[in-house]
A and B are shown apart, each in its own frame.
Chain A
Amino acid sequence: MAAKRRVPIKAGYFTVPDDPAEPPKLLGSRCDVCGEHFFPRRAICAKCMAPRTADVELGPRGTLYSYTFVHFPLFGSTRVEHIGYGVGQIDLPEGPRVQLPLAGKQEDYRVGMTLEAELEPMREEADQDIVIVRFRPVEADR
């Protein structure tokens, strides 16, 4: 069966690569004046207030700053694997600390481990997969 076309649950936050093996990147901003990076995108730099920022791609890897596990269906999903899910704060190499769902089991997470972004189908809609972005511990770091 051919893979369904993948559509982000909300546009403007992450890439959906054509190659399923390629990890997604987060869509952020870099200040034209001071160089600070932000996620999600900002029109005005939060550090130096310059009203000039450029769109940049961030990640796909980061370091786990903190995490917990939520025992509740992810966004009301009816998929059994979404009944509980990890969430984390991930430091990107460019600077921003992002807060996103985590892939994996409750006992998988450790502060300081390396994670990589991936896409996860939440539901099907008109023969498309509606996908979210989440971070998964990289195998070598588990």
Chain B
Amino acid sequence: MKDVAVLGVGMHRFGMWPDRSNADMAREAGLAALADAGLAFEDVQAAYVGYIFAPVMSGMRTMKEFGLTGIPIQHVENASATGSAAFREACFAVASGRHDVVMVLGFDKMTAMIQQSSATTDPAWLEDSILPAGFFAMWATRRMH
């Protein structure tokens, strides 16, 4: 396995951005990461994109913001761990020698998420009522018991 390094990072400022699309925010973050790394998008050989509440194939559409170079784009969704799971897959891609330079991109608009998820849809199962923070809270309750 080859060593893996993070060459650059970038982000869009956190907050409520009703007038900015996922693509707008992701483009700003990605361009900042490329600038930090001193790389051009042509150097990127593959992309790993994470989000939860944007539509299917949003990662593909968002990566087009950087250019149309024909690289493979892999979507990764893993709930709260979406970003770290995308990062892990990118690390494996480099460590295995499959790629030399890859980009990891994560985005979501959490303000829109709450409206969508709580509307009238039935739960997959009643465990969904616990919500992510609730699972960690129950863990804490038991540890403090």
Contacts and interface: CB of A to CB of B under 8 A. Distances in A.
Interface of A: 9-10, 13, 40, 65-68, 70, 72-76, 85, 87-89, 99-101, 111, 132-134
Interface residues of B, number: 20
A111 B141 CA distance: 9
Contacts, number: 61
Given A13-B126, A70-B131, 20 more contacts: A10-B122, A10-B125, A10-B126, A13-B125, A40-B125, A66-B139, A66-B142, A67-B138, A67-B141, A68-B140, A70-B130, A70-B134, A72-B118, A75-B123, A76-B118, A85-B129, A99-B127, A100-B127, A111-B145, A134-B126
Contacts of B118: 72-73, 75-76
Contacts of B138: 66-68, 87-89, 99
Contacts of B141: 66-68, 111
Interface of chain B, main secondary structure? helix
A58 to B, nearest CB: 14
Contacts of A132: 126
Contact of A76 (B119, B125, B130, B137): B119
B28 to A, nearest CB: 31
Interface of chain A, main secondary structure? strand
Contacts of B123: 9-10, 75
Given A66-B138, A68-B141, A73-B118, A99 B131 contact: no
A9 to B, nearest CB: 6
